[in-house]
Amino acid sequence: MSTDFDLCVVGGGIIGAGIAQAAALNGLSTVIVERKGWGSGNTHRSNRLVHGNLERFSERNILQTREDLLERKILLTIAPDLIKPSWFYLPIFADNKRVPWSTEMQLMAYDILAGKTKLPWYKRISEDEWRDLDGLNQFKLEAVYKFSDAHTDEMLLTQEIVRSAKMHGALALCPVNFDEAIKTSDGYKVQVTKGSRTRTFECRFIANATGAWSSLTAERMGLLSKLPNVQYVKSTFIEFSQQLSDKRFLIEPPDKAERLIVSPWRGGTLVGASEKLFSGNPDHVKPTVDEVEQLVKTVRHHFPHFNHSPSQAWCGLGSKTLTRKQSKASDRRLFVLEESRYLGIYGGQLTSYRILAEKAVKKILRVLNETVEDALDTPFVSSSSISI
């Protein structure tokens, strides 16, 4: 064996960290390269929820929601210090797109899909309790539900997964930029840079976990033309330095678009996200004045007393999952180029990082099986067997 590593993971967001952890646990010599900070990319620019995505429930594959809710249960067990259960409050107004009975059906299905968990079921809260909802506008308010989900500190979680990967033998390089990879007969010769220092190493397989930057990464490997075209979605968030409430709300914008999440965040309030398709350099994504105004308008509509101005506005960027035809795999988030020993990840969720990483590593092991002796003879080690 002449190469330095079996696997090089490019990108230290939650997905890359999970892949490095699962790979190291399963005996692959692994290096992970992150250019800025663990979890500092779009993992950081998310709603930080560990959830089955109630808002997308009706348009998503039911199996996907079920998988996410099972992952929520596993993560609450293996990382209780980092994943916290929480109530989410869902007000329904007379002029909302959703009506109380269909919301109730949706919440019931969501709780049933979660299976047996320690989290309490949804509840419709009484009108007497509405006054405890921190100034929520009660004009045309028809019903308020609360349901269970979970949230996390996404950067701490990513750092802990990287720490676990390192404990199991992975080499974690940060801040180190992945410059390029040149195909060799046995895998890749990779060049990385830290400041003015350049280093090269060889690896058998590359997992591109750079999320919104994955096309740029693939370009640096000369693979872009072999990869599927994906759409990117930009989401805008605003932050207030004042705390609106210690509760989390899902609120519908006056234009009946997708609901926004209002959460307490580091002593202030985080509100997001409104989504738009995006093309261009991911490093240059930023919110428009109009997007920020729409978010502020929605907050004021529901909480008229909260007339503060946002202290910050920023965007998260995610890719859509592949179409079935593009992916050619059972999971539309994974794309493997077997002959190039390359795996790309599209549309990964923070919640399902663990199971997605395991699926990715199983695929990598299958490709490497030709050269890594006994890789598949050893039973796969699931990361849910270790606490984070």
Binding mask 212-241 for ligand FAD (x = CB under 6 A): xx---x-----------------x------
Question: Residue 147: is it exposed, middle or buried by C-beta count within 10 angstroms (0-12/13-18/19+)?
Answer: buried
What's the min distance (Å) between Cβ of 8 and ligand FAD?
Answer: 10
Mark out the alpha helices in 191-313 (DSSP H runs).
214-219, 289-302
Identity of residue 158: T
Identity of residue 316: G
Among 9, 22, 23, 33, binds ligand FAD (CB under 6 A): 33
Q: Binding to ligand FAD by residue 3, rule CB under 6 A?
A: no
Q: Please give the helix or strand (H or E) that residue 194 lies within, else none.
A: strand 187-194
Report the chain's terminal Cα–Cα distance, integer Å: 32
Among 6, 7, 11, 355, binds ligand FAD (CB under 6 A): 11
What's the min distance (Å) between Cβ of 228 and ligand FAD?
Answer: 16
Among 318, 340, 356, 358, binds ligand FAD (CB under 6 A): 318
Nearest to 49 by CA among 67, 22, 75: 75
Q: Binding to ligand FAD by residue 349, rule CB under 6 A?
A: yes
| Closer Cβ to ligand FAD, 228 or 304, answer by number | 228
Among 21, 65, 148, 210, binds ligand FAD (CB under 6 A): 210
Q: Binding to ligand FAD by residue 23, rule CB under 6 A?
A: no
DSSP reduced 3-state for 63: helix
The dihedral formed by the CA atoms of 53, 270, 72 and 162, expressed in degrees to the nearest 10: 130
Angle at 3 between CA 168 and CA 192, to 5 degrees: 80
Are 168 and 19 in contact, with CB atoms under 8 Å apart? no
Among 8, 16, 96, 146, binds ligand FAD (CB under 6 A): 16
Nearest to 141 by CA among 284, 275, 249: 249
Cα(339)–Cα(232) distance, rounded to whole angstroms? Answer: 26
Q: Binding to ligand FAD by residue 310, rule CB under 6 A?
A: no
What's the min distance (Å) between Cβ of 220 and ligand FAD?
Answer: 7
Among 31, 218, 350, 355, binds ligand FAD (CB under 6 A): 350
Ranked by CB distance to ligand FAD, the top (closest) residue is 13
Are 352 and 15 in contact, with CB atoms under 8 Å apart? no
| Closer Cβ to ligand FAD, 124 or 194, answer by number | 194
| Closer Cβ to ligand FAD, 82 or 143, answer by number | 82
User: How far lies 290's CA from each of 116, 263, 277, 315, in Å?
Assistant: 43, 22, 15, 13
Among 19, 26, 41, 335, binds ligand FAD (CB under 6 A): 41
- Tokens 């050269």: give the residue: 371
User: Applying CB under 6 A, what is the total number of residues that bind ligand FAD?
Assistant: 37
Q: What is the DSSP letter of 284?
A: G
Among 5, 9, 29, 34, binds ligand FAD (CB under 6 A): 34
Q: Binding to ligand FAD by residue 47, rule CB under 6 A?
A: yes
Among 5, 12, 119, 150, binds ligand FAD (CB under 6 A): 12
For binding to ligand FAD (CB under 6 A), which residues are involved? 10-16, 33-36, 40-43, 46-49, 51, 177-178, 209-213, 217, 235, 273, 316-318, 348-351
